[in-house]
Amino acid sequence: MNERLKTAFWLLFYSSAAGLMLTVFSLIEDLFRYLFALLALYIGILFFRKFEKLSLRITFFVLAIIIYLLFAVIASAFIFLRDNPDVLTGA
């Protein structure tokens, strides 16, 4: 497999995992939420150990924030529709 393609897959994987952890952190209101923040930090540390190029690190950070925002909007929409079923029926 091409090395650049492999790096792109790892970048997307780590960014998605960090973004998902940040989304769960923002949605949970318990003390348990800080575990997900620590997991996101740990994922970032693992990525920074594996890849040392500055451009990859910046891309990881930007992608993690974009994926976090995307997941947060989708999760918020699902929560809103679950709590307000009248929106779907038009009643």
Q: What is the 8-class DSSP label of residue 23?
A: H
pTM here is 0.87
pLDDT band at 89 (very low <50, low <70, confident <90, very high): confident
| pLDDT on residue 40 | 96
pLDDT tens for 28-81 read 999 999 999 999 999 999 999 999 999 999 999 999 999 999 999 999 999 998
CA distances (Å), origin 44, targets 8, 58, 76: 16, 11, 25
